[in-house]
């Protein structure tokens, strides 16, 4: 009744998240090199031989740069939307490409992976819920605003990777040009520490055991600052800051005695409507 999770890297220099059950696993995004992915997994006792698929959230370079070599070397299927594949211009064999649709679970062994749309400055961006052994793991990064989809799924997670990209004061006083500051905080960029904390405090289920704070900005945030901010509200949830320089430990997430089914809206009843922007912009 458990899953194993780790961040291999998290930030604008590369993103890669591992979720597995001991027999099979998936990677959500692969924005670091194949060699570095292998090294980091080996250091924490994980093997690429258990990885059965890569799921792609969107086409920005820090989420896809490692995919071509990883997919080729290990013969991995790459689950990706048509628009993300087109705008990412990813060099992978057609037979390895599998399109996914939001709200429709994909079964990888005993893991069920479900995507849902999010607000971000990309062609067709998605977040993911991974379910296995009655455990739900959420991967919620690169989110411009905390929409209904995010809060609905967060309420059912035993553990989650949640973006806490920037401190509002650090961003405002920092050296970024005004137009970039506005893009980051403008609703299709990234979540601030304050927004992420509000999601956590308002929508965390009582059984959430682990929260990974992900995709921290190098220039507009501080690991120490955000760790303390969330520790003050953590309760029984362990707070882990996912590094942009190294892998985290592997964390063992158990279901215990919880009910975590999710009643999803049908596609035509979705509370979220996103107009694709098709802008290949890497937001820091």
Cα separation, 107 vs 80, whole angstroms: 14
pLDDT-wise least confident of 87-101, 147-161, 188-202, 259-273: 259-273
pLDDT band at 282 (very low <50, low <70, confident <90, very high): very low
Task: Confirm if 61 and 40 have CB atoms less than 8 A apart.
Answer: no
Cα separation, 270 vs 191, whole angstroms: 21
Beta sheet of 2-9, edge-to-edge order: 97-98, 78-79, 51-55, 25-28, 16-20, 2-9, 251-254
Task: Confirm if 221 and 166 have CB atoms less than 8 A apart.
Answer: yes
Q: What is the pLDDT of residue 281?
A: 36
Cα separation, 166 vs 191, whole angstroms: 7
Per-position DSSP letters for 48-100, written without gaps between them: GGGEEEEE-----HHHHTTHHHHHHHHT--EE--HHHHHHHT----GGGEE--
β-bridge mates for residue 189, sequence order:
none
Instruction: Output the six-digit token pair for 156.
Output: 């059912």
What residues contact 201, with CB distance under 8 A and at least 6 apart?
A: 233
pTM (predicted TM-score): 0.90
Per-position DSSP letters for 173-214, written without gaps between them: HSSS-HHHHHHHHSSSS--BHHHHHHHHHHH--TT--EEEEE
pLDDT tens sequence across 243-266: 999 999 999 999 874 433 344 444
Q: What is the pLDDT of residue 272?
A: 43
Helix (H) or strand (E) holding 252: strand 251-254
Rg (CA), the chain: 17
Cα separation, 226 vs 104, whole angstroms: 34
Cα separation, 35 vs 23, whole angstroms: 22
pLDDT tens sequence across 199-238: 999 999 999 999 999 999 999 999 999 999 999 999 999 9
């Amino acid at each position: 009744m458990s899953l194993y999770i780790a961040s291999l890297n998290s930030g604008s220099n590369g993103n890669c998240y591992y979720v597995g059950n001991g027999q099979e696993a998936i990677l959500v995004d692969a924005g670091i090199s194949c060699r570095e992915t292998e090294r980091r997994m080996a250091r924490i006792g994980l093997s690429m031989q258990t990885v059965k698929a890569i799921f792609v959230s969107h086409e920005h370079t820090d989420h896809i740069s490692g995919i071509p070599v990883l997919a080729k070397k290990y013969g991995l299927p790459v689950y990706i939307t048509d628009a993300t594949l087109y705008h990412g211009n990813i060099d992978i064999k057609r037979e390895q490409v599998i399109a996914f649709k939001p709200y429709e679970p994909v079964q990888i062994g005993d893991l069920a992976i479900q995507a849902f749309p999010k607000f971000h400055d990309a062609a067709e961006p998605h977040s993911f819920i991974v379910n296995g052994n009655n455990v739900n793991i959420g991967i919620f990064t690169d989110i411009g605003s905390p929409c209904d989809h995010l809060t609905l799924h967060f309420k059912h997670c035993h553990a989650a990777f949640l973006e806490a990209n920037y401190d509002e004061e650090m961003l405002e006083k920092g050296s970024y040009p005004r137009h970039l500051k506005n893009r980051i905080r403008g609703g299709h960029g990234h979540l601030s520490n304050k927004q992420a904390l509000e999601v956590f405090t308002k929508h965390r289920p009582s059984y959430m055991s682990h929260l990974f704070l992900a995709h921290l900005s190098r220039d507009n945030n501080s690991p120490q600052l955000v760790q303390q901010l969330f520790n003050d509200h953590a309760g029984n949830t362990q707070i882990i800051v996912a590094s942009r320089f190294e892998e985290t430990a592997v964390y063992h997430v158990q279901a215990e005695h919880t009910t975590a089914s999710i009643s999803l809206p049908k596609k035509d009843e979705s509370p979220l409507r996103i107009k694709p922007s098709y802008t290949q912009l890497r937001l820091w």
